[in-house]
Structure 1
Amino acid sequence: MWLMYTTSMIILILVIIVMSLATILSKKSINDREKTSPFECGFDPKSSARLPFSLRFYLIAVIFLIFDVEIALLLPMTILMQWSNITSWLIVSTLFLFILLIGLFHEWNQGALEWAQ
């Protein structure tokens, strides 16, 4: 038990040292306007290189990923029905679907699923 405690403390100390060194050594002391601007053949850039990003698109993408993962969790439930108790399977699957529907209803009420206003 002490060996595991000692090993974990040594690893924690090493991680803290490496992270501190990386933070100290990665600081850029000189901020040059030419080095931080995007490169366009030596000329000043015509416009900003940063394009505005739609926050609605990002939110829809995150919601899609969440529901996609939940569908991947729903698919094996039909196979598990054969090997498990039907009442426990029914309770777990109903609870899971209920939580999923509450999340969908919440996102719908917040207006996150509307593309245009």
Structure 2
Amino acid sequence: MTVKEIREALGAKFICGEEFQDREVHSACGADMMSDVLAFMKEKSVLLTGLCNPQVIRTAEMMDVVCIVFVRGKMPDETMIEMAKEREIVLLSTGHRMFTACGILYEKGLRGGAPCQ
């Protein structure tokens, strides 16, 4: 799935990174705790979160996240947007709640990692 397909499926708006809309995304993770992202995220993923602080961008960079989708209409501040631009991370915002957004992407064929043991 591409970033463009994710944006369309979620009715999301680009915050930055529109020039990278053709990048491939291989899996997804929905989390507000960055420790969960570090533990369970795969590379070339999309992160769905309602957390709006610079740690989200730093964590995404460490985990090779292609795109961050802010759920519930959340919007990052200018500092976060600049950080994402420097790291070439796409930022999107959708009005969907996290559960719904994850379900939409799952329905479209995007999967997460293996079940937790």
TM-score (norm 1): 0.20
The structure that has the greater radius of gyration is 1
TM-score (norm 2): 0.20
As a proportion of its length, which structure holds more strand?
2
As a proportion of its length, which structure holds more helix?
1
